[in-house]
Structure 1
């Protein structure tokens, strides 16, 4: 089944994320510039998505339609990458099922 693999990270990690996509056999992907904001301390699932504090963060969203195997391998590689990097800005990733496409 086709999956949508989505990763958000600081712009400076784009080269590393590109390598991760390649290692996961995801050869085609798109990027979008995003600015993440976190204001206050609401209790919801996005609490830890961006840095703590009220700063804005130049980030990228990298995404691809890929196989389940590619998405699973990409997630494993992102988990390993986050264990190696230092700082308050881990790479975030999620996978969504693609139920229909044209």
Structure 2
């Protein structure tokens, strides 16, 4: 990723987003899920970038909802760097 021109990387030191697969989607686990992910949510919001990157689909969903920041998979960034067409949040940022 570091070789992609004009890409700024800010790597989080947070251990977990808190969702834990389907665990975090259970209503009775919501408060625990949000508490576990709090440091990562705060980091993402402090960075204040146009989007963020995560390789786990479940984590991307959870993080996007918790932070309001659009997420993409790392492969989408590589595809864009190689000139392949991309869609969604990444396409919006590249306009």
With the shorter chain as reference, the TM-score category is under 0.3
Q: Which has the higher contact order (CA 8 A, sep 6+)?
A: 1
Q: Flag the structure with higher helix content.
A: 2
Query: Higher strand share goes to which structure?
Result: 1
